[in-house]
Amino acid sequence: MTDGQEFTPDWFSKPGDSLRALMARRGVPAQFVGDRLDGGMETLRGLLDGSLDLDDRHASTLSASLGGTTAFWLKRQANYREMLERALSRAMGDLDESAAWLTLHVPGPKPRGGLSEERRRNEVRRRLAFYNVGTMSAWQARYGRICSETLFRTTDAFTSDDGAVLMWLRNGELGADVVDTRPWSPGNLHDRLKAICALSKIRHPELFLPKLRALCAEAGVAVVTKRAPDGCRASGASRMVAPDKAMVLLSFRGLSDDKFWFTLFHELAHLILHGARTFLDVDMEDDDDSEREANEFAARLIVPEHREGDFARLLPTKDDVIRFSVAGDVAPGLTVGQMQHRRMIHHKQLDFLKRRWKWEQLRPFV
């Protein structure tokens, strides 16, 4: 840094970083902290992702729940705000940089028409805070790497659709922040697969999702459900969000139980078989060895190898499919999905055995 040149950090230290670290270090569950904050878990999410300013009441609650003085927490907020405003001033002083920030997707309504200087600053500030980086070069280093490492790339050029995907992934990361998990263990996850599969028999998401999240959390996996934004066609993603914490992100794309559960099994397969790589899946196409292995793994959870003979002889009737599914401890819709995929039946045949949801029903979870 030359004399007189203002230093701008490439990243921010949010109060939420200290909050997250203290919860982990002291073994304090997110729900415990959320229950003590005005606004509950929604407030905790806002403090963690930086979208909500930490005030005197929050500081007092965090001091009592996690330690640190009220003054410490307020100072963390003041320092973060100072760094954010410094980065914002730098970005606004560079027309190319500010224009680049405005192309990025963030949650919330898109600005329409021309932007006043104040609205432009607010929009750039939102993006800096959401992605938690202070410069566009830092954003490229972090999220451009995800693009290059993730097996969803179709061109070498960054596209608008990729931006929607990255926003969805970032939303997933933020959602994983409030999911308490044990340390990541592929073996523990593998041991729970049978119990996870059995949850497919539960019809309603409000009943099976808490059980699913609890089972996966025991193995170090945060299961997050977020509806994909316009431009993002992803069904699921899997990645490590911390050295000892994995994430499976699901979009409920397709709104049917066979698609949801196969996507889940596919992402769990990536975690068990392929380690810490980032995977984002759209149509579960067998376009490389990793995807073929994950598809085979997911299919085997629905139709185990020792039942292949019975499955091949399965008659396309309601009673036979239900009987086969009950014996395998999975929902009939998943069996139908496999029959359709393998072209044993027409692609719409027996669809009435699948469970379907509506976005209105899923809104509390996505």
Distance CA 41, CA 174 (A): 13
Domain boundary (149, 165, 196) is at: 149
Domain presence at residue 170: no
Is pLDDT above 50 for 266?
yes
Whether residue 203 is found in the same domain as residue 291: yes
HSE at residue 316, side-chain half, CA atoms within 13 A, is 16
Domain presence at residue 8: no
Band (pLDDT 50/70/90 cuts) for residue 10 is low
pLDDT per position as a tens digit, 130-176: 998 889 888 888 877 776 666 443 333 444 477 888 899 999 999 99
Domain presence at residue 244: yes
pLDDT per position as a tens digit, 239-257: 999 899 999 999 999 999 9
Is pLDDT above 70 for 221?
yes
The residue with tokens 């405003």 is: 85
Distance CA 173, CA 178 (A): 10
Give the residue-averaged pLDDT of 178-199. Answer: 96
Q: What is the pLDDT of residue 161?
A: 72
In order of 74, 151, 249, the CA distances from 285 in angstroms are 50, 11, 18
Domain presence at residue 2: no
Total structural domains within the chain = 2
Domain presence at residue 111: yes
Whether residue 83 is found in the same domain as residue 191: no
Whether residue 62 is found in the same domain as residue 108: yes
Whether residue 82 is found in the same domain as residue 229: no
Whether residue 138 is found in the same domain as residue 200: no
In order of 14, 75, 107, 206, 227, the CA distances from 362 in angstroms are 31, 39, 18, 8, 9
Domain presence at residue 160: no
Distance CA 302, CA 231 (A): 31
Is pLDDT above 90 for 88?
yes
Domain presence at residue 154: no
Partner residues linked to 250 by β-bridges: 225, 236
Residue 78 tokens read as: 């003041």
Whether residue 134 is found in the same domain as residue 200: no
Domain presence at residue 224: yes
Residue 142 tokens read as: 């972090």
- Buried (b) or exposed (e) across 232-258, using 16+ Cβ within 10 A? bbbbbbbbbbbeebbbbbbbbbbebbb
Band (pLDDT 50/70/90 cuts) for residue 318 is very high
Whether residue 311 is found in the same domain as residue 217: yes
Whether residue 114 is found in the same domain as residue 189: no
pTM of the model: 0.87
Band (pLDDT 50/70/90 cuts) for residue 299 is very high
The mean pLDDT of the chain is 89
Compute the Cα dihedral for 284, 287, 291, 297 and give only its sign. Answer: positive
Residue 101 tokens read as: 């920030």
Q: What is the pLDDT of residue 328?
A: 96
Residue 52's domain comprises 15-149
CB distance 247 to 238 below 8 Å: yes
Whether residue 78 is found in the same domain as residue 193: no
Is pLDDT above 50 for 283?
yes
Q: What is the pLDDT of residue 149?
A: 62
Q: What is the pLDDT of residue 156?
A: 37
